[in-house]
Amino acid sequence: MSEGGSDVDELFCYGTLLPGQERWKFLAPFVLSYEPDQVSGRIYDTGLGYPAALFDRVGVIYGFRFRLDFKRLSEALSLLDEIEGAVEGLYRRVLVTTAMGIEAHAYQYGGALDQLIDIPKGDWLTR
């Protein structure tokens, strides 16, 4: 897990940015293709209608990896940083390596940990 990656055009999502979820409309215009994938870490229910992921924990997080339009990558990441609260510090965009060996951006939770409820199966959609 690292920060940076201005040439990385993949994004791993595990919650409200997924197709059919409330924030998909913000991501959809930038997506060229996507497929299921997973990363190491733990996913939690915040109790506020959205999940929290911590990629430095033991476990598996299931989600989808999206290939973004490279010509609009900066625009996409700026918008998603704002949408995901990275600007206020609630989430932080980091680089992760997926189970398929692909480096991707992902949003790691940066809020309070005391109210988080573990999702043992690692999948927000089937919690």
- pLDDT tens for 31-57 read 999 999 999 999 999 999 999 999 999
Domains along the chain with CATH numbers:
10-119 (3.10.490.10)
pLDDT computed for residue 3 by the predictor: 52
B/e letters for 1-18, b = 16+ CB within 10 Å, e = fewer, are eeeebeebbbbbbbbbbb
For the chain, the straight-line distance linking the first and the last C-alpha, in angstroms and rounded, comes to 25
The pLDDT tens digits of the residues spanning 96-105 come to: 999 999 999 9
Confidence tier at 58 by pLDDT (50, 70, 90): very high
pLDDT computed for residue 85 by the predictor: 87
Alpha carbons 33 and 122: distance in angstroms, whole number: 23
